[in-house]
């Protein structure tokens, strides 16, 4: 049925994506990390349609790693997406099929085009909730297996009080 949808992601649902497992175990699994509201004017899977969404990621960290979305590629691999930041500061972490990882800085007014086949995740590096709008094809779907389960090959960590994009061996 077409309509407005919403979902929330709690820490307990993000097990395994943060580096510091000990810090993670010491935190309340019911803590909400992010919420998504999105409009589905056509049924999911419709070719040629678009969805529109708003994501809000809370400020916070697990150990020295900032709160972030799980991250995904599109199940229909070649589908692209736009993100537009409205409030807060963050990093859009991207990984292509060759394994290259990079980021784009997010701040109010920043617009980000995410090509098909590129995995994407958003990290809140600020002190306030990070909000961004998104527009993606209604048949894109989500694939949460990034690089065969290895992840993004990069982490955003607080170092000397500042966010640092660090490539990893993954
Ligand atoms: O699906 P996640 O990786 O948890 O990201 C959360 C959400 O971020 C954005 O709003 C995307 O447009 C959504 O499609 C996605 O569901």
Task: Give the ipTM of the model, two decimals please.
Answer: 0.93
Ligand 1: centre distance to CA 31 (Å)? 18
Average confidence (pLDDT) over 133-150: 92
- Tokens (6 digits) for 150: 């290895």
Q: Which residues line ligand 1 (CB under 6 A)?
A: 9, 36, 53, 55, 69-72, 134, 136, 142
Dihedral pair phi/psi, residue 23, rounded to 5°: -60, -40
From 82, 73, 80, select the one nearest 148 (Cα to Cα).
73
Model confidence pLDDT, tens digit, residues 31-41? 999 999 999 99
Tell me how far the alpha carbon of residue 53 lies from the centroid of ligand 1, in angstroms.
9
- pTM listed for this prediction: 0.97
What percentage of the chain has pLDDT greater than the value 70?
Answer: 100
- The closest-lying atom of ligand 1 relative to the alpha carbon of residue 144 is 3
Identify which of 14, 2, 6, 110 has the alpha carbon closest to the alpha carbon of residue 55.
6
Tell whether the model's pLDDT for residue 170 goes beyond 80: no
Cα 71 to ligand 1 centroid, rounded to whole Å: 7
Whether 73 shows a pLDDT value over 80: the answer reads yes
CB 87 within 8 A of CB 81: no
Ligand 1 centroid distance, CA of 42 (Å): 18
Q: How many Å apart are CA 7 and CA 11, to the nearest integer?
A: 14
Distance CA 124, CA 60 (A): 8
pLDDT of residue 55: 98
Mean pLDDT of the chain: 96
Q: What is the Cα–Cα distance from 48 to 57, expressed in whole angstroms?
A: 29
For the chain, domains (ranges, CATH) are: 3-167 (2.60.120.10)
């Amino acid at each position: 049925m077409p309509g407005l949808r919403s979902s929330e992601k709690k820490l307990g649902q993000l097990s395994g994506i943060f580096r510091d497992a000990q810090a993670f175990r010491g935190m309340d699994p019911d803590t909400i990390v992010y919420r998504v509201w999105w409009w589905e004017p056509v049924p999911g899977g419709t070719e040629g349609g678009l969805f529109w969404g708003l994501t809000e990621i809370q400020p916070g960290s697990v150990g020295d790693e900032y709160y972030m979305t799980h991250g995904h590629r599109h199940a229909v691999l070649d589908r692209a997406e736009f993100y537009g930041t409205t409030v807060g500061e963050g990093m859009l972490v991207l990984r292509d099929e060759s394994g290259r990882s990079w980021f784009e800085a997010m701040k109010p007014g920043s617009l980000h085009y995410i090509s098909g086949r590129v995995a994407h995740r958003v990290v809140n590096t600020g002190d306030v909730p990070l909000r961004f709008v998104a527009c993606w094809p209604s048949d894109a779907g989500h694939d949460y297996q990034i690089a065969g389960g290895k992840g993004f090959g990069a982490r955003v960590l607080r170092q000397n009080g500042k966010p640092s994009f660090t490539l990893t061996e993954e």
